[in-house]
Every structure is written in structure tokens, then in C-alpha cells.
């Protein structure tokens, strides 16, 4: 992981802690539910981008877009498709 990713994670964790603190102060019973949700789903959060990429690849191939754009089954076009998904995933 590079420094940019670590800074992003740090900011997200500070923001989550701040929101959790405010919710505990305002409504403690609701904050307990948020805390349970965060504890359960925290290990899976970094998998969401891979699910998004997998789903878009399935949509791309199932909707015959690869035939419409004449993507043949050679290495050059596979690299092109990979670059396209990588560009979309960075946004």
C-alpha cells in the first residue's frame, strides 16, 4: 500500500470515529447498531471494488458489448479491456 492509500484510510477512520462519537452522544442505542455493523462488515469493505469489477465484466460480456466493439479474443484486446476497467475503477 502506498502513502496515498494509507492517508485515505486514515481520514476515513477518523471520520467514522467522529460520526460514531456524535451518534453515541445523540442516540446511544442507534450507535450500538452502527458499531456492530462496522465490526461485522469492516473485514469485507476492501472486497467491494473487486465485486464491482467482477459485476461490470459480467455485464460487459453478457450484453454482447464485446461483439459490438469488435473485441476479438487476442491478447491486445484483452489488455485493452483490462486498461478500460482499470481506468473506470480508479474513478
pLDDT tens for each residue of 21-43: 777 777 777 767 777 776 666 66
Instruction: Please determine, for residue 76, whether its predicted confidence score (pLDDT) is greater than 70.
Output: no
Is-contact 71 42, C-beta < 8 A?
no
Please report the pLDDT score of residue 20 as a whole number.
Answer: 72
11 band by pLDDT with thresholds 50, 70 and 90: confident
**Cα–Cα distance, 32 to 1 (Å, whole number):** 31
Percent of the chain with pLDDT over 90: 0
**Cα–Cα distance, 39 to 36 (Å, whole number):** 5
Concatenating the DSSP letter of every residue in 52-63 gives HHHHHHHHHHHT
Please report the pLDDT score of residue 44 as a whole number.
Answer: 59
Nearest one of 52, 20, 56 to 35, comparing CA atoms: 20
Element (H, E) at 81: helix 75-90
Instruction: Please determine, for residue 4, whether its predicted confidence score (pLDDT) is greater than 70.
Output: no
Amino acid at each position: 500500500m502506498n502513502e496515498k492509500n494509507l492517508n485515505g484510510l486514515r481520514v476515513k477512520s477518523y471520520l467514522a470515529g467522529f460520526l460514531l462519537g456524535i451518534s453515541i452522544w445523540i442516540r446511544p442505542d442507534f450507535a450500538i447498531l452502527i458499531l456492530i455493523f462496522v465490526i461485522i462488515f469492516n473485514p469485507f469493505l476492501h472486497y467491494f471494488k473487486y465485486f464491482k469489477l467482477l459485476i461490470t465484466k459480467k455485464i460487459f460480456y453478457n450484453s454482447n458489448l464485446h461483439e459490438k466493439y469488435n473485441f476479438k479474443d487476442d491478447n491486445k484486446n484483452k489488455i485493452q479491456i483490462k486498461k478500460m476497467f482499470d481506468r473506470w475503477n480508479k474513478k
